[in-house]
């Protein structure tokens, strides 16, 4: 054995460092224990999670926040299978992620090896690139390609498979094909003729609307988008994770008049947003049937999806917006036409805000969602990162908890995935340690959503992450029952046949999980208790907190004009 021999573990770890990877999340076991140690020896952070799905959620969230893929490291067979939900979530959200799976030794394949599984093929439907390096010398080449494909075009997922025997093998370092860091993705510049067409449509519009998606947040286009909206006095509507590109408190943000804005806009400029279920597919009755769509997206294949765009532009959001501003400067159209449109939007917004304000002032016990969220918003830092999941908890919280900055809301996203919250919060807290040490992470969970990944509280404690977890507890999925009703339903019958599928146990004291660490959690049934719990939790700087807020099991969102999802007519 030569002194310059290296094994597969070291080659892989150093290849990750060479590609700018900083964080690896995972759960170790055969055959990746030595790899996890090599990762730390190479200078990377290894964050041990309690569930592979949560590890995958954390890795993709750090990829979204840093624009460099996080790594999820898992064992063979079940380890990889448990990540598939996370891989699908990252792929649907367009977040960069690299999953590395250990696998059965090659000489055990086909004869019943331990956790033998066709992992490369299993991963392929959920990622952009799925491969097994054929040998040690080409590991860096495949790592570079996996990282590049996770970043270029529409960001997404790559998977690399490493049999145990490959990781353990050794080779002379001089034979390894080392690669340079993958460059930042090239910017897609818009066709000037299409920018002119977009400007012409906007100039002729009487009711324009800008819809900002998380693609604009990922692009880092917030400064130029804000300049554009304010310069031309345009109403803007964010998608859930597009919040903060334009400050939620900005006059131009018309989230409080969302339905009116969508229904009556005659021209819509889509900046990094997709016409999927979140935007009701861009179709009537949620949209004007004659609306003119200007679609700008980094992914050419997304253009014209669901409904044909009047102008479809393949471009970086920031680059396009700068050129559009230049085209529009000098036009007086905003002064001529915008007053009636703004009047309509402001009138509806004021009515909706009045309804919400009335609900926030109802402090009767049991509490409602709006009162709870109003007082949370009053107490938390204005620049905090908000992680949120659950049914009503996430949907109502989206309108009540405001974001001033982009990429400061992480939720169930395009795939509507439950269980993402604690993993996202771990990633956000680690990001804060590196880039904004005084910033706080607030993780707002429904009680059902918290149950998916609640044991990640131990991960937060182990790594000294001061995440504040707020559980909005209604004893169920969507809604639950008070204790008396819950018990009466179950009396005299087989509990599995009579317990409503959407119900959970009543008055569960989730905050007592903190007692595992000799720390007291907070159980709240009224607003003064919630206010004290928030004040005390914000003072804690080195460990997580849990605030368990009991609300009315039948509490719901304010009345809606339409069902939450545009229904199919088939």
CA dist 114 and 163 (Å) reads 11
Containing 239, the helix (H) or strand (E) segment is none
Sheet-wide strand order for 409-410: 409-410, 385-389, 441-446, 468-473, 545-550, 522-524
Residue of 437, 511, 429, 438 lying closest to 462 (CA atoms): 429
| Confidence at residue 565, expressed as pLDDT on a 0 to 100 scale | 65
Specify the pTM.
Answer: 0.96
| Confidence at residue 116, expressed as pLDDT on a 0 to 100 scale | 87
When pLDDT is cut at 50, 70 and 90, the band that residue 561 belongs to is low
CA dist 130 and 307 (Å) reads 32
Residue, of 57 and 478, whose pLDDT is higher = 57
CA dist 380 and 395 (Å) reads 19
CA dist 445 and 421 (Å) reads 7
Is 360 a residue whose pLDDT tops 80? yes
When pLDDT is cut at 50, 70 and 90, the band that residue 566 belongs to is low
| Confidence at residue 547, expressed as pLDDT on a 0 to 100 scale | 98
CA–CA distances in Å: residue 272 to residues 40, 241, 299: 36, 11, 9
Q: Which two tokens stand for residue 348?
A: 């509806």
pLDDT mean over 232-246: 97
pLDDT digits (tens, 9 = 90+) for 214-224: 999 999 999 99
CA–CA distances in Å: residue 194 to residues 69, 313, 323: 32, 7, 11
The dihedral built from the CA positions of residue 56, 57, 60 and 62, taken in this order, carries a sign that is negative
pLDDT mean over 9-15: 98
pLDDT digits (tens, 9 = 90+) for 144-195: 999 999 999 999 999 999 999 999 999 999 999 999 999 999 999 999 999 9
Q: Show me where the domains of the chain are located.
A: 5-175, 192-346, 362-565
In CATH, which superfamily holds the domain spanning 362-565?
Thiamin diphosphate (ThDP)-binding fold, Pyr/PP domains (3.40.50.970)
| Confidence at residue 492, expressed as pLDDT on a 0 to 100 scale | 74
- Phi first, then psi: give them for residue 311, nearest 5 degrees: -135, 125
Q: Helices 421-435 & 52-66, crossing angle to 10 degrees?
A: 40
pLDDT mean over 308-333: 92
CATH class for domain 5-175? alpha beta
Residue of 79, 87, 100 lying closest to 16 (CA atoms): 100
| Confidence at residue 570, expressed as pLDDT on a 0 to 100 scale | 47
pLDDT digits (tens, 9 = 90+) for 495-534: 999 999 999 999 999 999 999 999 999 999 999 999 999 9
**DSSP letters spanning 45-94:** EEEE-SSHHHHHHHHHHHHHHHSS-EEEEE-TTHHHHHHHHHHHHHHHHT
Is 39 a residue whose pLDDT tops 70? yes
Residue of 398, 402, 533, 542 lying closest to 470 (CA atoms): 533
pLDDT mean over 332-358: 86
Percent of the chain topping pLDDT 90? 89
Residue of 392, 388, 362 lying closest to 374 (CA atoms): 362
For the chain, the average pLDDT equals 94
CA dist 136 and 175 (Å) reads 9
Residues in a beta bridge with 388: 444
Is 294 a residue whose pLDDT tops 70? yes
Cα 514 to chain centroid, rounded: 26
- Please name the CATH architecture into which domain 192-346 falls: 3-Layer(aba) Sandwich (3.40)
Residue of 217, 247, 250, 253 lying closest to 235 (CA atoms): 253
CA dist 465 and 229 (Å) reads 37
Containing 367, the helix (H) or strand (E) segment is none
Residues in a beta bridge with 297: 314
Q: Is the separation of the CB atoms in 431 and 26 below 8 Å?
A: no
């Amino acid at each position: 054995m030569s002194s310059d021999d290296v094994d597969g573990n070291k080659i892989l770890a150093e290849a990750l460092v060479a590609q700018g990877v900083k964080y690896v999340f995972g759960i170790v076991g055969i055959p990746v224990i030595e790899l996890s140690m090599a990762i730390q020896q190479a200078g990377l952070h290894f964050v041990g999670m309690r569930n592979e799905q949560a590890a995958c959620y954390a890795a993709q969230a750090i990829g979204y926040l840093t624009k460099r893929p996080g790594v999820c490291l898992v064992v063979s067979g079940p380890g990889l299978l448990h990540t598939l939900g996370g891989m699908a979530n990252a792929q649907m959200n367009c977040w960069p992620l690299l999953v590395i799976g250990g696998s059965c030794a090659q000489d055990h394949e086909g004869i019943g090896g331990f956790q033998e599984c066709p992992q490369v093929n299993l991963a392929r439907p959920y990622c952009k690139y799925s491969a097994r390096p054929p040998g040690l010398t080409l590991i860096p080449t495949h790592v570079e390609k996996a990282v590049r494909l996770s970043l270029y075009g529409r960001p997404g997922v790559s998977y690399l498979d490493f049999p145990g025997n490959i990781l353990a093998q050794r080779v002379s370092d001089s034979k390894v094909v080392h690669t340079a860091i993958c460059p930042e993705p090239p910017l897609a510049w818009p066709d000037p003729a299409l920018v002119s067409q977009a400007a012409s449509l906007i100039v002729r519009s009487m009711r324009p609307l800008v819809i900002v998606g998380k693609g604009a947040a990922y692009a880092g286009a917030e400064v130029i988008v804000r300049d554009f909206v304010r310069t031309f006095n345009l109403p803007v509507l964010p998608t859930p994770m597009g919040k903060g590109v334009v400050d939620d408190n900005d006059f131009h943000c018309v989230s409080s008049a969302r339905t009116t804005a969508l229904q009556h806009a005659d021209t819509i400029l889509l900046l990094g947003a997709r016409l999927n279920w979140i935007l009701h597919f861009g179709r009537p009755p949620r949209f004007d049937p004659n609306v003119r769509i200007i679609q700008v997206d980094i992914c050419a294949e997304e253009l014209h999806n669901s409904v044909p765009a009047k102008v479809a532009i393949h471009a970086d959001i920031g680059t396009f917006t700068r050129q559009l501003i230049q085209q529009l400067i000098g036009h007086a159209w905003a002064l001529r036409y915008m007053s009636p449109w703004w009047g309509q939007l402001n009138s509806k917004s004021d009515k909706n805000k009045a309804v919400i304000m009335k609900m926030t002032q109802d402090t009767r016990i049991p509490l409602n969602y709006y009162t709870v969220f109003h007082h949370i918003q009053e107490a938390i830092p204005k620049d905090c990162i908000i992680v949120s999941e659950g049914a009503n908890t996430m949907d109502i919280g989206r309108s009540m908890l405001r974001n001033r900055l982009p990429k400061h809301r992480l939720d169930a996203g395009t795939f509507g995935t439950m269980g993402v919250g604690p993993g996202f919060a771990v990633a956000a807290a680690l990001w804060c340690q590196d880039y904004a040490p005084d910033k706080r992470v607030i993780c707002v969970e429904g009680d059902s959503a918290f149950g998916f990944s609640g044991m990640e509280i131990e991960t937060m404690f182990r790594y000294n992450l001061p995440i504040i977890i707020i559980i909005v507890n209604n004893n169920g999925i969507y809604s639950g029952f008070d204790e008396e009703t819950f018990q009466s339903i179950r009396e005299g019958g087989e509990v599995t046949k009579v317990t409503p599928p959407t119900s959970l146990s009543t008055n569960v004291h989730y905050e007592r999980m903190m007692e595992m660490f000799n720390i007291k959690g907070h159980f709240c049934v009224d607003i003064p208790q919630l206010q004290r719990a928030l004040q005390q939790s914000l003072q804690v700087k080195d460990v997580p907190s849990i605030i368990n807020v009991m609300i009315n099991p039948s509490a719901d969102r304010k009345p809606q004009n339409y069902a939450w999802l545009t229904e199919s007519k088939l």
